[in-house]
Amino acid sequence: MTEIISVRFKAGGKQYYFAPGTLTVHPGMGVILDTSRGPEYGECVLGNTLVEDETVVQPLRPVLRLADEKDMETLQEQRQAEARAFSICQQRIAARGLDMKLISAEYSFDSNKILFCFTAENRVDFRALVKDLASTLHARIELRQIGVRDEARKLGGLGICGKPFCCATFLDDFQPVSIKMAKTQNLSLNPTKISGSCGRLMCCLKYEQDAYEDILTRTPKPESFVETPDGVGTVSGVNLLREQVKVRLEEQPETPRCYHNCEICVVRSGRGKLPPDYTPPSPAQLEQLRKVTPPPASPFAAPAPPPPVTPPPVKREANRGRSGKPDAPAKPKGKPASGAKPAGAEKQAGHAPAVPREEPTGAVPASGEKRPQRNRRRPRGGRHSGKTPPNKPQEPS
């Protein structure tokens, strides 16, 4: 493992790894670094971190020290000197009639060297210009020709989306962009619509390319023969973002219809011939391909009522029969003891008390004589009012 810090020299520029040594650097802190151009000032983006040895290119250049207040004052003085050098260089370019556009002027941290960046359509002989600048600014002069994409990164600006340039904010390197990406995404090939301020294809075409390639694997090609819920037909258009296809049915070729990818079945991809043994399915089989989508809920619709609350079951003391009246208490088994009241013979208002029936113990009815039946009917209110209960059974002889 190797300990590194990530440093950026300019806002939106590329990040570089340096060896912090014994220093502890946090994101946002300024550091003085040892570079190929000499000491330079940079801003830490990623603090002390351990990474795999294969992810860095050895040997790493060291961090000299942390930036202090004096270094920040030096940077402010250099910014003022760069503006003055930029103006002088423009005057010398106009005086010599050189076909070049000056972009920026940058001082090294030790103020011994000035780097001028420019753009030009052709090669420019600027040897005489270098001599004039060196005698005027009393420093080493370096002129570097850059491309239009680097020019847009240095100058910055707003794209057609209304946001700052990607290359000037977060892109470390320029991604290769081709016209094939615009064709894959069904964009207009008008250069004014797919080109950025630099005149090259927009970098954002690369962002969505993978998503479009994934959608293409699930979408039929134009002129494909497909089966739809309404019949068979030919694909006349594809909407990749919505994953919809426009199909021209054989029965109604004048009015194409739109279907989702999941509602069609591809029989022939692209142009070609149908299988010789192909037979169109029946309408009932084609109808099974239709995708049923529930209607979206309206934001103005009343909220759904809460589900009804089922009350807990009430525990009753006595069970009820079909008539809704409580069942009679169970009668005790066996014969009641002498002097005891039978169950259910409770005293009611206006009724004569029931007299318990007594049977001699050990008495057995004679042979051939029927044993009298006991009256199991309970007294009812109003029917036996003022009457005595049924007669007692006769005692056997």
Strands 140-145 and 113-119: parallel
295's CB contacts (< 8 A; 6+ apart) are none
Domain ranges of the chain: 2-67, 73-146, 153-214, 219-287
pLDDT of residue 330: 52
pLDDT of residue 384: 47
pTM: 0.56
Query: What distance in Å separates the CA atoms of residue 120 and residue 150, rounded to the nearest whole number?
Result: 13
pLDDT of residue 345: 46
DSSP symbols for 343-376: TT----TT-PPPPPP---TT--PPTTPPPPPP--
pLDDT of residue 87: 92
110's CB contacts (< 8 A; 6+ apart) are 38, 39
Fold designation for 73-146: GMP Synthetase; Chain A, domain 3 (3.30.300)
pLDDT of residue 187: 86
Fold match flag (73-146 vs 219-287): no
pLDDT of residue 317: 53
> What's the CATH class of domain 219-287?
mainly beta
- Taking alpha carbons only, the member of 248, 282, 243 closest to residue 262 is 243
pLDDT of residue 316: 55
How many Cβ atoms sit within 10 Å of the Cβ of residue 263? 19
Low-confidence stretches of the chain (pLDDT beneath 50): 318-319, 321-324, 336, 338-351, 355, 359-364, 366-368, 382, 384-386, 388, 397
